Structure 1
Amino acid sequence: MTTIATPAHTVDAKLLRFALKQDAIGSGANGVVYVVAAAIFGQMFGLPAAFLYPVGAFLIAFAAALLALASRPGVSRPVAVVVIAVNIAWVAASVELLVAGWFPLTGLGVALVIAQAVVVAGFTALQFAGLRRTI
């Protein structure tokens, strides 16, 4: 079950902590690959390396923040809501990227954007469920 930790806005929930850690692993892995192989990915997926470098750097920083958050004794409810909002923004930006045609994506590029949006939506659903269990 759920236990309320010290201050009024922190919670300790297994599902939320698990979802944050999984999100960190996925985000960190993608970030490292984007930074290390931006030129290769750019050609394979139709995404410019100049776009992938900052996205990769953001994902690495985001993953580090998620790991730090998940490792604390109590998870800040407002911070967890911010993580959920960032993930929702990622999914929305993915849809916008596809609909607006910002880049000349290859078939693999379209599949990558869709797959990432689905995975991030799954992390978001788990995080939301974990947060709801703390109420």
Structure 2
Amino acid sequence: MRTVQSSPILKLALLADAVVSGSIAAAQLLFAAPMAGLLGLPKPLLLESGLFLVFYVALLLLMASRGRLWSALVGVVVVGNIGWALACIALALSGAVEPTGWGLAYLALHAFGVLGFAALEWIGLRRSADAAEFRAQTPATR
């Protein structure tokens, strides 16, 4: 499996994604009932997605702390963020829920936010050096 030496942009993008996702997870887990009323989204959806985000944040923090990463794992995070954005848009348009104006804004913010993180993580991955090539360089040429 191909590994890369994480670029500063990739590390920063993973860390920023973790901070934002962690904040959302905390809000949804701690304030699910009031958020459900304000947003017009089901409380179980907020709780379950908040719980998922706790595990996602742990993965992102682990990835951000490593010098080398599997490029495929970063790709999974990028594709996952794109999938999350599409799911937010689909949920808003599906008619399965009746979000309020605030709920639509919340879903739109999620969609645009995760697309932004996906783009930054992809750019960071593209700027990451192949780990084998990085190891072959002398410290003076890095």
TM-score by length of 2: 0.86
Q: Which runs of 5+ in 2 are unaligned?
A: 130-142
SS at match of 2:5: strand
Higher relative contact order (CA 8 A, sep 6+): 2
Larger radius of gyration: 2
Of 68, 85, 92, 1:98 maps to 92
Measure, in 2, the Cα distance between the counterparts of 1:10 and 1:130: 11
Ranges of 4+ aligned residues in structure 1 off by more than 3 Å: none
For 2:38 and 2:2, locate their aligned partners in 1 and report how far apart those are by CA, in whole Å: 48
In structure 1, the partner of 2:68 is: 74
- Which of 40, 44, 64 pairs up with 1:50? 44
Match of 2:83 among 68, 81, 89: 89
Q: Deviations over 1:19-69 (max 9, x none)?
A: 000000011110111011000000000011111111000011101110011
Query: Could you tell me the TM-score, scaled by structure 1's length?
Result: 0.91
Distance in 1 between residues matched to 2:54 and 2:21, nearest whole Å: 7
Q: How many residues align?
A: 129
Q: RMSD value over aligned CA atoms?
A: 1.3
User: Residues of 2 paired with 1:8 and 1:88: CA distance?
Assistant: 22
What is the Cα deviation at residue 8 of structure 1?
A: 4.2
Percent identical residues:
34
Q: Is the 8 A contact 2:22 2:54 kept in 1?
A: yes
